[in-house]
Every structure is written in structure tokens, then in C-alpha cells.
Structure 1
Amino acid sequence: KTKPVGVIRGVYDAGHRCFGENYVQELIDKAPQLPEDIEWHFIGNLQSNKAKALLAGVPSLDMVESVDDEKIANRLDRVVADLGRRPLKVLVQVNTSGEESKFGVDPSGCVGLAKHVKLSCPNLVFSGLMTIGMLDYSSTPENFKVYSEAQI
């Protein structure tokens, strides 16, 4: 993420095909300058009002890794359908650390959100969960134990 097109091109030329970006406009600007067979992942917080621009601007967008509520899931589902593109893979983002500065559904709501995506969003493919632990995750492994405690 946040790397210049030239750096991405060098990594692509070395054989890599999957890249991530966390700013909508940066991804929309970069994607047309690079080969079409790149599988792009959007890894940042996505505002629902930017979903259409992202999906229309990046036809090779393979996954959105940051679905954290039903509103964004529903918006992505509608936009995928409106554009007639192939189903979009998504990860449900869970805030396991409880930090207010991080996005994500509360662990107690992640199963419900995953079910919503799977059952109510036919143009999305539920592909798993993602989280970002606290900066010093080595001393706070409980951030990741939350998954098993939530019976996911």
C-alpha cells in the first residue's frame, strides 16, 4: 500500500500479482497504470459513498478487506449488481482490541455480520475475518483469542 506505480511494477515484473491499497483515490489512480491481471485488495476503511467509484474505477478489484457493518455490505452488494461485475470477495473486519481508533465490528457482532453478508448479499463472497491487534500484540495476544471466545 501507498507505494508508487514504479515500485509496484517492479514487484509485478518479479511475478507477484496481488496488491493492496488503503486509499480509494490512490487505488483508482494506480490501477489503470498497471497490468489488468493484478488482483487488487482494498484494505482500508471504505465509506459507502465511495463504493461505486472504487468498483467502477478498479475493474480488477478482487477483495474488500474491511466490511465492518451491514450498511457497507449492502452498498457493495448493490454496486456490484448495478455494474454487472463478478461477485466481490469480502472480509468482515473485527475490532478485537477494543481501540476506538480502529474500525471493525465488535466481536459480539461479527457472526451476525458474516451471516448477513452470506445470506443477504448475493453479489458478495464472504471470505473470512480480518483484524488488527494492538501495536504491541506480542504482549497482548488476547486480541486474537477474542475470535475463539466469540465462537466464530
Structure 2
Amino acid sequence: MAVSLAHASVRRVLVSARGPSRVFATAAMEGEVAKALQEVTSRIGAAAAKAGRADRLPRLVAVSKTKPAEAVREAYDAGQRVFGENYVQEVVDKAPQLPQDCAWHFIGHLQSNKVKTLLEAVPNLALLETVDSAKLASKLDSTVAALGRPPLAVFVQVNTSGEESKYGVEPAECVALARHIQEQCPHLRFAGLMTIGMPDYSSRPENFQCLQDCRRAVCDALGLEEAAVELSMGMSGDFEAAIEMGSTNVRVGSTIFGARQYPAKAS
């Protein structure tokens, strides 16, 4: 996705943490978000060209986890429109502060009891990337129907690294979950597969290959064209390698917004 960049204004962002208020020196203060966004989109274009996909650029999801709405607005002013969040409360807080033409992706683990909160508060939620059970899919389906929303696009999350600490279905289970969504959830649209990768949030080629193999199995089982099923793989540390291996959706956070800022824990 080519992004046209404009000069973003310099901002000072006040962030409240536990205890005394602090002024964090965010990347947005110096217009660095716009600069970093331009660099990332250039790298995406180069990786896609190397893979022979210059005419089919992957979608960039700018992940603003722990970052204030002002930093997201800087990226928006620079031309970015697709943003990702890991936590329900963060996207619920930020989305109303930003233009409605933002397309939000939820990319964190979603508990069933937070589905209604998320779907009610974020009408411009475009895609939920982390469906990891039939129970969650069914809850999403019934809630979308109850709220009268249009069908919601979803990805099935696959645990390609085999780590117990990671969410996602085992590769052997992805066909069954995709079939459940396709056949039992009329208010959802199965749109692809997603993986996180290794413990350091980068992935080895075998993780990417595993997701490709899962897509092939799903498409064979459900009679789908592979081109119609997306692969969401690749983050700040490995998005170029992911693109070269077929990713259509990369999730980049710290490379655009700077290191994440977590509130100090109370002593």
C-alpha cells in the first residue's frame, strides 16, 4: 500500500502514568513518526519488488500499542489509514479521538466477554486478526448480528512456532476453524490467516512456510482461491522477509512509533 506522506506538525504529548504525571518524549514530538512511516513504506515497496509483487503491495498495519492518540494522529496526517491495537481498552479509548476513515485491526488476544465492548465502541473496526477458537468466532458472529453491523472480516490465528505461551490454533486445526467460520458464522467473513512467530516477535522462514501450508490446506478443503485468502505475517523485526515469502498484511509498531512506553508499576 503506497502511502503519500505530508509534513506532520510537531507535538508535545502528555501521558498520564501511575503516580505523578510525566511528559514522555515521544517520536511524534519531533515529527519522527512521519519520517519513520515513510521509511517503512519504502522498505515494504522494495521487499515487494524483490519478490516480484511491486503491483500488489502488502497492507501496512501501523500498530500503536501503548502510544497516545496524538502519535496515531501524526501517522494519520502523514497518510496512514490502517491501525492496529492489541488491547480492547486502548482501541476503545483511541478510536473516537481519530477520524472515522481510520480502519482499525484488532491484533491481540480477545476474550469472549469483551467482544460486545469492542464491537459497540469501534464501528470502524475493519478486521479482527486473532480468532483462535470456534467459541470466539460464534460469539463474534452473534454479536455482529445483534448490533446490526455488516459482516466482519476475520483472520484465523495459527500458532506456527508451537509455543505454549502463544495463542492460536495448531496448524492441523486451522482447517476446522476456517470451516466453522465459513459455514456456521454468516455474519463473519473468513479473510485469511495470521501468525505472530517466535519468542522475540520475529519469525524464521519455517514459520512463514507453515502459514503458507495452512493456507493451501484451507483453500483445498473449502474450495477457495489462494489469492482470496490473506497471510498476516511479519512485524518490525521481520516484515521484509515475510513479504518476500508472501505476506499480504504486515503489522509494524515500534519501527514507526518508537519503543513502547508502559506505565511504571506502583512500588
TM range (shorter): over 0.9
In the other structure, the counterpart of 1:50 is 114
Q: Does 2:102 match 1:38?
A: yes
Deviations 1:82-105 (A, max 9, x none): 000111110000001000110000
Q: Aligned with 1:128: secondary structure?
A: strand
Against the structure 1 CA distance between its residues 5 and 142, is the aligned structure 2 distance closer, same or farther, given a 3 Å change threshold?
A: same
In the other structure, the counterpart of 1:26 is 90
Name the larger-Rg structure. Answer: 2
Q: How many residues align?
A: 151
In the other structure, the counterpart of 1:114 is 178
- TM-score in terms of structure 1 length: 0.93
Q: Aligned with 2:70: secondary structure?
A: helix
Against the structure 1 CA distance between its residues 113 and 13, is the aligned structure 2 distance closer, same or farther, given a 3 Å change threshold?
A: same
Q: For 1:148 and 1:41, locate their aligned partners in 2 and report how far apart those are by CA, in whole Å.
A: 21
- Assess if the C-alpha contact under 8 Å between 2:195 and 2:211 holds in 1: no
Q: Aligned with 1:19: secondary structure?
A: strand
Deviations 1:10-34 (A, max 9, x none): 1111111110000000100111111
- TM-score in terms of structure 2 length: 0.54
| 1:31 partner letter | A
Say which of 46, 69, 78 aligns to 2:133.
69
- Assess if the C-alpha contact under 8 Å between 2:91 and 2:122 holds in 1: yes
Q: Which runs of 5+ in 1 are unaligned?
A: none
Q: Which runs of 5+ in 2 are unaligned?
A: 1-63, 219-267
Structure 1 residue 124, shift from structure 2 partner: 0.5
Deviations 1:105-151 (A, max 9, x none): 0100001101111111011011100011113856x422233235553
Against the structure 1 CA distance between its residues 8 and 74, is the aligned structure 2 distance closer, same or farther, given a 3 Å change threshold?
A: same
Q: Aligned with 1:101: secondary structure?
A: coil
- Assess if the C-alpha contact under 8 Å between 1:137 and 1:143 holds in 2: no
Q: For 2:201 and 2:145, locate their aligned partners in 1 and report how far apart those are by CA, in whole Å.
A: 41
Which gives a bigger RCO, structure 1 or 2 (Cα 8 Å, sep 6+)?
2
Say which of 145, 158, 162 aligns to 1:98.
162
Identity %, equivalent residues:
60
